[in-house]
Structure 1
Amino acid sequence: MSLELLSQLESKVQVALETIELLKMELDEERANNRTLQQQQQTLQSENQELQSQLQQWNDKVNGMLDRINQEVKEAL
Structure 2
Amino acid sequence: MSFEVLEQLEKKIQTAVDTIILLQMEIEELKEEKEQLTKEKNELKDNRETLELKTQQIQQEHTAWQDRVRSLLKKMDDLGNINTP
Matched residues in 2 for 1:14 and 1:63: separation?
73
Relative to the length of structure 2, the TM-score reads: 0.84
Is the radius of gyration larger for structure 1 or structure 2?
Answer: 2
Stretches of structure 1 that go unaligned for 5 or more consecutive residues are none
| Misfit runs of 4+, over 6 Å | none
| 1:21 and 2:28 aligned | yes
Relative to the length of structure 1, the TM-score reads: 0.92
Amino acid at match of 1:43: T
RMSD across aligned C-alpha pairs, in angstroms?
0.9
Deviation at 1:9, TM superposition (A): 1.1
Deviation at 1:63, TM superposition (A): 0.5
Amino acid at match of 2:77: N
Matched residues in 1 for 2:81 and 2:19: separation?
89
Give 1:31's match in structure 2, choosing from 29, 38, 42.
38
Matched residues in 1 for 2:9 and 2:70: separation?
88
